[in-house]
Amino acid sequence: MADEIDHGSEEFADARQEMDQLVYDSLKSKEMKPNAMFARLSDLAKSAKMSRTAVTWARKNSLWPLQFGLACCAIELMDFGSSRIDAERKGYLLFRGTPRQCDVMVVAGWVTKSMVPEIKRLYEQMTEPRYVIAFGECATCGGPWWQSYNIVKGIDEVLHVDVYVAGCPPKPENLFAALMKLQKKVGGSIED
Amino acid sequence: MSVTRINVGPIHPSTHGVIRLVVDVDGDTIVNVEPHAGFLHRGVEKLAETRMYMQIPPYTEKLDYVAPMSYDEAYVAAVEAAMGIEVNEKAKYVRTVLLELQRIASHLLGLGTLCNDIGQMFTVFMWTFKDRDIVLDLLQEATGSRMFYVNMRLGGMHAELPPDFAEHAYNTMNYIEKRVSQYETYVEKNTAFMERMRGIGVLSSEDAKALGVAGPVLRASGVNYDARKHSPYYMYDKFHFNPKVMLTGDNFARYKVRMLEMKESVRIVKAALKAMPEGSCLGMPVKLRSPNPVNRTVSVSRELPRGECMMYLVADPQKPYRLSIRSPNMVNLAAIGHIAKGARFADLFGILGTLDIIMGCVDR
């Protein structure tokens, strides 16, 4: 998907500028005009040239993670959603209980062999496009358990991972950075 | 009547790790709950046999990732007992302070997730996580890390406390004490909360003893047992404190015991800070060769936030021959079939929330 968007093109720049202007105006006037905004957005989406840009713009600004945690890093994931970091102010963290409504799966914790079928199944239930963040050492490479008999050495042995986060556990701020990186990737400014 | 079997989990959309419960319901009434553990099993005890003594704390502390320092300390205490090392006087106070801070952080998380579980989404959770972060800041100040500390060394600590730690800790404790009282007021005046807590999931004291449940779950059923009081370690016998006991054994009692314990912890921290002696609290630096054990078999009992843990260590030179862990979470989880029998299906998660289990510790 990412390779289809030409970021240097004028169309892209114009569409993005117009969308930003729409949002800016509606915020500035202090009275949201969602109808006008969405009408214009859908116009943009209807035109064949713009549809990719409009969809990408919408997609990258509404990344919904799956409410799913495995181990220690899930506690930091909870902290990420709580008051100090408050990820929801950036639009990231509308934790959903069902994978069918989600875009991002944050694999937070060690992946055991018995969890692999479950994680695969969750991933397959997510609608495309879907993204995976390997959060912490264990999900990245097995972490301290790499010699254990029941551990998968990183979730990337099972799924395609988009962003890796290092740390044991990473600080909640690191997940913020990871999601910003993922946004760039969804927007197409970072290659896979 | 027909019995329906419902599968819950293992990706349970809540905060207690990956647990699978097979629940038999008759209408809305639970007939049987069968917990299936093992989704997080990674063989801590086996890995411990392949590591040197002081390489193991990072593994043991990931058992209970809500209260890592408590497990860290329990393991180091077992090694100290095996090697016959005395903990130095100031380190005893420091450990007492840090362990109680960890207990407060753990119980705050427990309260937040409990309120999530019974449907009071995110209000109390947001508050308790804010306060938990404040306590974690304090621990970070003392140890340098936010979540996993590895700050225990044989006979002491890895570093001195920062000079202004006592003052910060004192102020924070005042704040936490105030907040805990506020939580009690907010939560207990809420009818919805009380309806789902009072009289639900009752565990009688006979059953609690027979099932071997531990910690706040045991004390909520009216059994006055706390390892800090009954086999005291460090400075716990010096300070005046009483194990908090409730008699009803229901969800409310289990919640209330934790709230009372937090207040008690605040008192212990303040007393320990006041009585802290001068001097150094440093322990032995981590070296490749550790001293040879003088006792081959030791068993150490510690009161963790979730109950009494036992570390059974068979010591070889340089590394453990066998490390066996009695996890309080395991026994508490095993009791859920007994506790939830006869309750409504929706109350299962309230009961799970008050048991406050951590699956990393159950599965090991």
The DSSP code for A171 is: P
**What letter does residue A167 receive in the DSSP assignment?**
S
Same domain, A78 and A152: yes
Helix (H, G, I), strand (E, B) or coil at A37: helix
Distance from CA of B206 to the nearest CA of A (A): 33
Number of CB pairs, chain A paired with chain B, less than 8 A apart: 86
DSSP SS3 for A65: strand
β-pairing, B20-26 vs B297-304, is: unpaired
Cα(A131)–Cα(B292) distance, rounded to whole angstroms?
A: 51
Specify whether A49 is located in the same domain as A124. no
Asked whether the predicted pLDDT for residue A90 surpasses 50, the reply is yes
Q: Determine the residue of chain B that is closest to A147 in CA distance.
A: B47
Residue-wise pLDDT tens digits, B304-336: 898 888 999 998 888 899 999 988 988 988 888
Q: Which residues contact B186 (CB under 8 A, 6 or more apart)?
A: B124
Position A30, amino acid: K
Q: Which residues of A, range 34-63, sit inside 8 Å of B by Cβ?
A: none
Q: What is the mean pLDDT of residues A119-140?
A: 88
Does B36 reach chain A within 8 Å, measured CB to CB?
no
pLDDT of residue A1: 41
Q: Given this model, what pLDDT does residue B107 score?
A: 92
Give me the sheet containing B20-26, strands edge to edge: B4-8, B20-26, B29-36
The answer to whether residue A67 sits within a structural domain is: no
Asked if A82 and A43 sit in the same domain, the reply is: no
Residue B174: the pLDDT is: 92
The whole-number pLDDT of residue B191 equals 87
Q: What digits encode the pLDDT tens for the residues B40-57?
A: 888 888 888 988 888 888
Q: Do A78 and B15 touch (CB under 8 A)?
A: yes
Quickly tell me which residue has 């699956």 as its tokens: B359
At B153 the pLDDT is 87
Residue A124: CB partners within 8 Å, gap ≥ 6? none
Per the CB < 8 Å rule, is A97 touching B109? no
The whole-angstrom distance between A187's CA and the closest CA on chain B is: 29
Fold of B39-324: Cytochrome-c3 Hydrogenase; chain B (1.10.645)
* A66 within some domain: no
Mutate which of A64, A66, A80, A82 to disrupt the B interface (most B C-beta within 10 Å)?
Answer: A82
Say yes or no: A96 and A175 in one domain: yes
Helices within chain A (DSSP H only): 10-28, 34-46, 48-60, 72-81, 116-125, 137-141, 172-187
* Nearest residue, CB atoms, A147 vs list B17, B50, B359: B50
Contact between B54 and B42 under an 8 Å Cβ cutoff? The reply is no
Q: In which residue ranges of chain B is pLDDT below 50?
A: none
DSSP state for residue A108 in the 8-state scheme: E
* Residues B326, B308: Cα–Cα separation, whole Å: 8
Query: Least CB-CB distance to A147: which of B47, B58, B125?
Result: B47
* Model pLDDT for residues A135-182, shown as the tens digit of each residue: 988 888 888 888 888 888 888 888 889 899 988 888 888 888 888 888
pLDDT surpasses 80 at A49: no
B46 touches chain A (CB under 8 A): yes
At B347 the pLDDT is 87
CB proximity A64 to B under 8 Å: no
Domain boundaries defined on chain B: 39-324
Pick from B126, B130, B360: which is nearest to A71 by CB? B360
∠A63-A69-A70 over CA atoms, to 5°?
145
A116 touches chain B (CB under 8 A): no
Q: How far apart are CA B167 and CA A185, in angstroms?
A: 46
B47 touches chain A (CB under 8 A): yes
Q: Which of B108, B255, B245 is nearest to B176 (CA)?
A: B108
Residues 129-168 of A with CB under 8 A from B: 144-145, 147-151, 168
Cβ A50 vs Cβ A11: under 8 Å: yes
3-class DSSP state for residue A120? helix
Residue A192 resides in a domain: no
The answer, for A72 touching chain B at a CB cutoff of 8 Å, is yes
Q: What is the pTM of this model?
A: 0.85
Q: Quote the DSSP letter at residue A168.
A: S
Note whether A52 and A76 are same-domain residues.
no
Q: Of A68, A72, A79, which has the smallest distance from its Cβ to B360's Cβ?
A: A72
**Contacting residues of A for B130, CB less than 8 Å apart:** 82-84
> Hey, what are B279's tokens?
């001097």
CB contact under 8 A, B66 and A75: yes
Running DSSP on this structure, what letter comes out for residue A113?
T
Find chain B residues with C-beta within 8 A of A75's C-beta: 65-66, 109, 147
- Under 8 Å CB-to-CB from B164, ≥6 apart: which residues? none
One domain, residues A23 and A45: yes
- Domain carrying residue A15: 2-60
Closest Cβ–Cβ partner in B41, B65, B109 for A72: B65
Closest to B222 in 3D by CA, of B262, B194, B250: B250
Q: Give the pLDDT of residue B237.
A: 82
Q: Tell me whether A26 touches chain B (CB under 8 Å).
A: no
The answer to whether B38 contacts A122, with C-beta atoms less than 8 Å apart, is: no
**Which chain B residue has its CA at the smallest distance from A115's CA?**
B39
- Chain CA centroid to CA B162, Å: 26
Q: Which residues of B touch A149 (CB under 8 A)?
A: 43, 46
Q: CATH code at A93? A: 3.40.50.12280
Residue A122 has its nearest CB partner, among B11, B109, B129, at B11
Contact B38 A109 (CB under 8 A): no
CA nearest B235: which of B269, B285, B189?
B269
Are A10 and A56 part of one and the same domain? yes
| Closest Cβ–Cβ partner in B11, B130, B147 for A83 | B130
Q: Is B50 on the interface with A (CB under 8 A)?
A: yes
User: Cβ contact (<8 Å) for A69 and B17?
Assistant: yes
What's the rounded Cα separation, in Å, for the pair A59 and A187?
Answer: 8
Confidence (pLDDT) at B18: 83
Looking at residue A3, its pLDDT comes to 45
- Rounded Cα distance between B267 and B265, Å, is 5
Residue A65 in any domain: the answer is: no
State the Cα angle at A56 between A55 and A59, rounded to 5°: 85
State how far the Cα of B212 lies from the Cα of B309, in Å rounded to an integer.
12
State yes or no: pLDDT of A52 exceeds 60: yes
Within this chain, do residues A78 and A39 fall inside the same structural domain, yes or no? no
Contacts of B148 in chain A (CB under 8 A): 72, 168-169
Cα–Cα dist B283/B87, whole Å: 8
Per DSSP, A100 falls in state G
Half-sphere exposure of A135 (CA within 13 A, CB side): 34
Which residue on chain A is closest to B59 by alpha carbon?
A: A144
User: Within this chain, do residues A41 and A100 fall inside the same structural domain, yes or no?
Assistant: no
CB contact under 8 A, B40 and A69: no
pLDDT score, position B175: 93
Structural domain total, chain A: 2
Q: Please state, as a whole number, how many other Cβ atoms lie within 10 Å of the Cβ of residue B316.
A: 14
B18 in A contact zone (CB under 8 Å): yes
Closest CA relative to residue B80, chosen from B283, B364, B326: B283
Residue in chain A nearest B110 by alpha carbon: A75
Q: What is the 3-state secondary structure (H, E, C) of chain B?
A: CCCEEEEECCCCCCCCCCCEEEEEEECCEEEEEEEECCCCCCCHHHHHCCCCHHHCHHHHCCCCCCCHHHHHHHHHHHHHHHHCCCCCHHHHHHHHHHHHHHHHHHHHHHHHHHHHHCCCCCHHHHHHHHHHHHHHHHHHHHHCCCCCCCCEECCEECCCCCCCHHHHHHHHHHHHHHHHHHHHHHHHCCHHHHHHHCCCCCCCHHHHHHHCCCCHHHHHCCCCCCHHHHCCCCCCCCCCCCCCCCCCCCHHHHHHHHHHHHHHHHHHHHHHHHHCCCCCCECCCCCCCCCCCCCCEEEEEEEECCEEEEEEEEECCCCEEEEEEECHHHHHHHCHHHHHCCCEHHHHHHHHHHHCCCHHHHHC
d(CA A15, CA A28): 20
